[in-house]
Chains A and B, each alone.
Chain A
Amino acid sequence: MEKFVALTASGVAYGAVLALVALGFIVLYKATGIINFAHGDLVGLGAYLAVWVVDDLNLPSVAGYLVALALMAVVGVVMERVVRAPLRDKPVLVVVIATLAMAIVIRGLIALWQGSNPKTLVSPVGNRALHVAGAAIAQQRVVIVVVATVSIAGLILLFQRTSFGRQVRALAADPDTAVLMGVRGTYVAMAAFALSAVFAGLAGILVAPLSAVDLNFGFSLMVTAFAVAVVGGFGSLGGVVVGALVIGLVQQLVGGYLWPEYAGLLPYILMFAVISVRPEGLIVVERSRL
């Protein structure tokens, strides 16, 4: 029972982080059609920025995190300028390769700036733990779930209820017609890049206290988030949240009970299986072109 509670708690927390990562790149995908392979490195960058702001600038943690997130927004806009703006009339595939290039640039810059030794980010709630049914649950995990829930709810409201959200969805559905309706693709893309980078950074900051921050820190999160997106469907935000929880729980529970050695493989197996059975992903979104 203790084991079950502990594993469930870490599964939910892990799922929450995955949801943040996945939503980050899906927002961008919807607004611009670009799959950003630098997203994982943005997650890492967020964590490094937080370490830097808290350790080197000595800001109090929460204020420091906000500063780090603001910087992430700037990074997002810069990325739009570098990766998307010059390649607007190229096939999306080209832009995707450009994001790959960006990924290694970011990675290289982090290595230059922070070195390759792992860093640690101290949790603002310290190492305290809650005790539920005999299981110790790190309070950081509770923080993760709360912050992620609030952010995701905010994002969904933004998408469903605001003009910005409609414009993004219109671009996703039919980019040419969206432009004919006055949607400024470039501004929306910049905003989406910024939002996406902030979500990546937030995920990085939240998960960093649970592990060491190193150069590969974000990459495996990104790949697992791809699995989430495939399982949850690239289209719907709600599907992504469900997919994230499923993957988080499966990895922790199945991994924890049955196959601890290879638990890390589970998301990839799931993702591969979904793609082989449903090559378009589980949920297909209508899309038309002018």
Chain B
Amino acid sequence: MLRVDDLHVRYGTTHAVRGISLELGAGEAVALLGANGAGKTSTLRALSRLVAGEGRIELEGEDLTRLAPEAVARRGLIHVPEGRHVFATLTVHENILMGLTARGDRSDGFSVDGVYELFAPLRDLRGRLGYALSGGEQQMVALGRALVAAPRVLMVDEPSLGLAPVIVEAVEEALRAISRHTALLVVEQNIDLALRVCSRASIMKHGEIVLEVDAGDAHEREALMASYLGRGQPEGPGTSAES
């Protein structure tokens, strides 16, 4: 489905992503974990071509490396950015309709009504403007908008960031539901959530993948926790390049 080969991202002399390779099969859910500044967000931004990276990105065998971001989106690699970025001056309904722009002629995936079924609370908010939504509602709109685009691969950046625990649960539910139809690449700080939703996790540090973990394997999960709890250097500010 999605295949990334030796991806690099540089900001000036900062080498934010240093040769990442990833593979995501159909229907698979993979988490990208790591501390702040490890290069997770930069990776997603490079995959959706918001920033220029070097390396090869393939979606269903097609090379995306030279495409503009809107063309990447139209081919079904959909990116839900950190901070959700609901269109503030569009209503909830219009926000969700925006997903259709990237949908092209793909017939699978969620319909607009399907989104309202998945996120029932949005039904009563159809006419509300984006800036008047709570964080949880925004996350639902952002996910719903992405689903309407019938993603081949859905990339979600920090879906639980800044949300109340009860909302995080709802988001987790939604991600699970989505992962039944769609390949998922999730960037998360909340490791537990990520491992419940995803079958595999790649751990990033200093722009590299340092560990790959099978979420079902207790032994590997332990190794993951150990790597988190600090063997090796903590992240220095000099390498922080996430934006």
Tell whether, in the assembled complex, residue B101 and residue A163 are in contact, meaning their CB atoms are under 8 Å apart.
yes
Question: Residue B214 at the A interface, CB < 8 A?
Answer: no
Most buried by A among B70, B100, B145, B149: B70
Asked whether A288 lies within 8 Å of B85 as measured between CB atoms, the reply is: yes
Q: Mark A52-71, 1 if CB is under 8 A from B, else 0.
A: 00000000000000000000
Minimum CB–CB distance for A166 against chain B, Å:
5
Chain A positions within 8 Å of B136 at CB level: none
User: By the criterion CB–CB under 8 Å, are B89 and A286 in contact?
Assistant: yes
Q: At the interface, yes or no: A112 with Cβ under 8 Å from chain B?
A: no
Q: Are A181 and B88 in contact (CB under 8 A)?
A: no
Tell me the complex Cα distance, A240–B88, Å.
20
| B74, B83, B102, B131: the one within 8 Å of A286 (CB) | B131
Given known contacts A286-B131, A288-B85, A290-B83, A180 and B50 CB-to-CB distance under 8 angstroms? yes
Q: Residue on B with the closest CB to A285?
A: B89
Binary CB contact string for chain B from 57 to 68 against chain A (1 if under 8 A, 0 otherwise): 000000000001
CB distance from A287 to the nearest CB of B (A): 7
Which residue in chain A gives the minimum CB-CB distance to B146?
A181
Bound Cα distance A285, B70 (Å): 25
CA of A179 to CA of B79, assembled, Å: 10
B99 CB-CB contact with A under 8 Å: yes
- Among A8-16, A99-107, A134-142, A170-178, the stretch in contact with B: A170-178
Specify the chain B residue showing the minimal Cβ separation from A288: B88
Is B53 interfacial (CB-CB < 8 Å)?
A: no
**A167 vs B89: C-alpha distance when bound (angstroms):** 12
Interface mask (A71-115 → B, CB under 8 Å = 1, otherwise 0)? 000000000000000000000000000000000000000000000
Distance in Å: Cβ of B59 to nearest Cβ of chain A: 14
Across the two chains, which residue of chain A brings its CB closest to B95?
A170
Known contacts A177-B85, A286-B131, A290-B85; is A182 also within 8 Å of B102 by CB?
A: yes
Interface residues on B, range: 20 to 34
Q: Which of A113-170 contact B (CB under 8 A)?
A: 163, 166-167, 169-170
Query: Does A282 interact with chain B (Cβ within 8 Å)?
Result: no
| Residues of chain B contacted by A174 (CB below 8 angstroms) | 85, 87-88
Q: Are A179 and B90 in contact (CB under 8 A)?
A: no
The answer on a CB contact under 8 Å between A181 and B99 is yes
A290–B45 Cα distance when bound, in Å, is: 11
Complex Cα–Cα for A288 and B88 (A): 7
B27 at interface (Cβ–Cβ under 8 A)? no
Given A163-B101, A176-B50, A182-B73, do A170 and B90 touch, yes or no (CB 8 Å)?
A: yes
Q: Tell me whether B48 is interfacial, beta carbon within 8 Å.
A: yes
Q: Within the complex, what minimum Cβ distance (angstroms) separates A62 from chain B? A: 36
Does A33 count as interface, using CB distance less than 8 angstroms?
Answer: no
B97 cross-chain contacts in A, Cβ below 8 A? 163, 166
B189 → chain A closest CB, angstroms? 19
Q: How far is the CA of A261 from the CA of B3 in the complex (A)?
A: 72
At the interface, yes or no: A281 with Cβ under 8 Å from chain B?
no
Query: Which residues of B79-95 are within 8 A (CB) of A?
Result: 79, 81, 83, 85, 87-90, 94
Chain A residue with the shortest CB-CB distance to B100: A163
Question: Which one, B50, B70, B88, B89, contacts A182 given CB within 8 A?
Answer: B70
Verify if B78 is at the interface (C-beta below 8 Å from A): yes
The distance in angstroms between the C-alpha atoms of A163 and B94, with both chains bound, is 9
Interface residue B69 (Cβ < 8 Å from any Cβ of A):
yes
Contact B74 A287 (CB under 8 A): no
Task: Name B88's closest neighbour in chain A (CB-CB).
Answer: A286
Give the distance to chain A from B210, nearest Cβ to Cβ, in Å. 28
A174-B85, A185-B70, A288-B85 known; A169 and B101 CB under 8 Å?
no
User: Which one, B89, B104, B149, contacts A181 given CB within 8 A?
Assistant: B149
The docked-state distance in angstroms from the alpha carbon of A80 to that of B86 is: 28
Q: Does B161 contact A (CB under 8 A)?
A: no
Q: Are B101 and A167 in contact (CB-based, < 8 A)?
A: yes
Q: B87 contacts which chain A residues (CB < 8 A)?
A: 169-170, 173-174, 177-178
B98 at the interface (CB under 8 A from A): yes
CB-defined interface of A248-290 with B at 8 Å, one 1/0 digit per residue?
A: 0000000000000000000000000000000000000111101
With CB as the reference atom, state the residue of chain B lying closest to A187: B70
Nearest-neighbour CB distance to chain A for B72, whole angstroms, equals: 9
A184 at interface by CB-CB < 8 Å: yes
Q: A166-B97, A288-B85, A290-B83 are in contact. Are A180 and B48 (CB under 8 A)?
A: yes
User: What are 15 A-B residue pairs whose CB atoms fall within 8 Å in the complex?
Assistant: A170-B90, A173-B87, A176-B50, A177-B85, A179-B70, A180-B70, A181-B99, A181-B102, A183-B70, A183-B98, A285-B89, A286-B88, A287-B88, A288-B88, A290-B81
Query: 4 more A-B contacts (CB under 8 A) besides A181-B145, A183-B70, A184-B70?
Result: A166-B98, A173-B89, A182-B73, A182-B74
**Which 5 A-B residue pairs are closest in the complex by CB-CB distance?**
A182-B102, A286-B88, A182-B73, A177-B85, A182-B101
